[in-house]
Amino acid sequence: MRRLVATALLLCLSLLSVPMASAETFRFTAIPDEDQSRLVERFQKVADYLADELGVEVEYVPVKSYSAAVSAFRNDQVQLAWFGGLSGVQARRLVPGSQVLAQGSEDAAFHSYFIANSATGLEASDAGLPAAIEGHSFTFGAKTSTSGRLMPEFYLRRQFDQAPEELFSRVGFSGDHSRTIALVESGTYDIGAVNFTVWQAAVEDGRVDTDKVKVIWETPAYPDYQWTIRGDVDARFGDGFTARVRQALLGMNDPELLESFPRDAFIPADNDDYAPIEQVGEELGLLR
């Protein structure tokens, strides 16, 4: 009997000495910069990939707006997020200790496209936006979108020295890049600003009629999207968990998964890379 008790005790002690995977679910979200149904389908595959790589349950949490993504991160409803440049800065300000882990290979030198309905007669230019845009109607994307609002407004103000509301006959916010393309293509708005990767993917997939809408100007490069993680994940999921998440993101090389973003690859990045976005956000009064 004593031998059985001793054996059982040794077994329990040995089990206690083995590191156990966290039973907690690791959750992430992504800013809704395209049609939501497409994002849910694509990011579920990303969740499955991360679960396999990290050895924990991973859940993708869809949100309805850029601000909702920031709120979910702030409230610890998600621990990781695929943010735009501005939304990432907002989130890291709200959650001290949060870190940028990676960005797309395209994100170190990102661009916005200004697109116009062909009926406007506006033509493409390499020398800046044509003066003839004045008086037309214009739509941004989401109010806190880096590529759909922040940087386009920055370049509009720099070139014309006017607020968008003074320059255009009507200014709107579509909510996402896919919607911006649709609104300009239909003629609801004459001109819009979009994320260049969303435009290129839409053209490649045949989801935009380039006879009705075209690119008239491309902005200079700026840093944009990135993966940001909360600073408390190692305490919750185990020492080194942040490093493992970074490695999983950098090691994502399945073209089908990368198409979810869409990006060719992920590369290392850190908080300091987004100082220019923070500066512009403060200049335009979009950061408190």
- Which residues face 194 on adjacent strands? 113
Domains (ranges, CATH) in the chain?
Answer: 22-107+224-283 (3.40.190.10), 111-218 (3.40.190.10)
Contact 52, 246 (CB under 8 A): no
If you search the block for the tokens 């869409």, which residue do you land on? 262
Per-residue pLDDT of the chain (288 residues; tens, 9 = 90+): 554 444 444 444 444 433 334 569 999 999 998 777 778 888 999 999 999 999 999 999 999 999 999 999 999 999 999 999 999 999 999 999 999 999 999 999 999 999 999 999 999 988 899 999 999 999 999 999 999 999 999 999 999 999 999 999 999 999 999 999 999 999 999 999 999 999 999 999 999 999 999 999 999 999 999 999 999 999 999 999 999 999 999 999 999 999 888 899 999 999 999 999 999 999 999 986
Asked, as a colleague might, if the bond just before 255 is cis with ω within 30 of 0, I would say no
Contact 38, 69 (CB under 8 A): no
Got the DSSP string for 18-65?
A: SPPPP-SPEEEEE---S-HHHHHHHHHHHHHHHHHHHTS-EEE---SS
Distance CA 255, CA 30 (A): 18
Rg (CA), the chain: 22
